[in-house]
Structure 1
Amino acid sequence: MTGSSVPSVPSASDASDARFDTLVAEAGSVSVDGWDFSWLDGRATEQRPSWGYARAMADKLARAGAALDIQTGGGEVLASAPVLAPLTVATESWPPNIARATALLHPRGAAVVADSDEPPLPFADRAFDLVVSRHPVTAWWDEIARVLAPGGTYFSQQVGPESVFELVEYFLGPRAPEERGARDPRRARDDAEAAGLEVTDLRAERLRIEFLDIGAVVYFLRKVIWMVPGFTVGAYLPQLRSLHREIEEKGPFVAHSSRFLIEARKPEQPPAGLR
């Protein structure tokens, strides 16, 4: 009777490695165009700010005559409004997002303008009675004030300080104090007022995020490219493997986003020093 080999049984580590490879490959292959995060449904959760930006923005758009959405992304947030202003324009810099926003917004009668996200805005002075922006990379306050008509409103939800820094520092290590203090809403208020606007509302919240698997982390870092600049799976493979094991052993990776709402009004008559 001849001997026979016994098939090896995959270890728990082997199974974990296989799950890692599958999750990372899937998250690395999916499109990250636009600003729709629905791929993360069931993979990550995030609390929403209490003020309901999209709903409040839609209410203002329905009452505006001429509106501008700066850095619209793929146009998803603007397109969610049931009623747009009779004249609605959006700007965007990234070509894939320009195409996506155009497909969403042109059927609604809104124009999408390719713009570098650097001053000046490609519009005349006092062109809009409403300017909105969700998560602008930079708010160019002098330009916002310039294109607003007297009595017009700027309404924006922005990323606040130390947003998702638990994840950022997992990959990049501790951040410098000046980086941790960037995007302070109090600074936004000061800059808006320096541009001649009256800040009528300023609110800030920190919101819980849970990443349920490593695929969610890969997708998020591919999409939100400024979190870990130059992120690729290959460049951060050791950290990704370590975080995958941590999630499998301890549960979701928890981070906190930082958001603030700012609303500012352009006075009917500018202060004497700004005329």
Structure 2
Amino acid sequence: MTEQGAAVPPSIDVPLVRRLIAAQFPRWADLPVRPVDDGGWDNRTFHLGDTMSVRLPSAVGYASQVDKEDRWLPVLAPRLPLPVPAPVGRGRPGEGYPFPWSVRRWIEGRTARVERITDLTEFARTLAGFLTALHRTEPADGPPAGAHSAFRGAPLSTYDGETRRAIAALGDRVPVDTVTEIWTLALRSARTGPPVWFHGDVAAGNLLVREGRLVAVIDFGCCGTGDPACDLAIAWTLLSGASRSAFRAALAVDDGTWARGRGWALWKALIRLDDPDPVGAAEARHALDAVLGEYAESATR
């Protein structure tokens, strides 16, 4: 049951979106609605005509992010070097759907994959420039890391118990001593500086490319103010070799922040290795191998 006392509808689909639009935004009722490729998990996303998208939270835990994005995206957008989603309308619960939802300006592009990127090192530097601008934006009264951000931006120790349980459960499927060493090093490097803005979910699915280049960053549902190390996990989930080095150099982060970023990537990989979705499990294995390989290389430098 949700906080509104109604169950999440069994299917967030095109008919539901059409009903919601017709009831709350009748001026757009004649626009076609169709699912977005790679429509996401936390939110289900649909095209609304050619210039807008509709995003509906998939569970109560994501519902508060609608108001947060509506409040802060217009503040952050002018300070960032790449486009981010622009709020167009805010929907209310209705038609059997229990949460607030949003209409955004559509940004043309495809989710980032290595084969879609012309120059991964250039991509890494562009992304680092975006994150640098975000991290340097005045935090003002931005929301501190917490449940609304899935504790991204909070101390990495938030996930200490979960990580150690995953290591124990995986047993000889992972090099226990090495992953424990990496995790311990990350925990020892607690941030001491003031909170800064972070995105919170810098993943391939939230980075849009067009003609081989990074053109936009989307889905700020996990954003907030705190430790930006969580934004570095992409270095192990998508980047590699020269592109990873270029990303680190362009961000100019210290060793502690890098270690915590590695810790975020390790945590996510460990808890997803048993993902029933074979794609998710394969992504987790790739990230874990990247963490182990990069850590081994760093030990020799």
Q: TM-score by structure 2 length?
A: 0.28
Larger Rg: 1
Select the structure that is richer in helix.
2
Is the strand fraction higher in 1 or 2?
1
Q: Per chain length, whose mean CA-contact separation is higher, i.e. which structure has more relative contact order (CA < 8 Å, sep 6+)?
A: 1
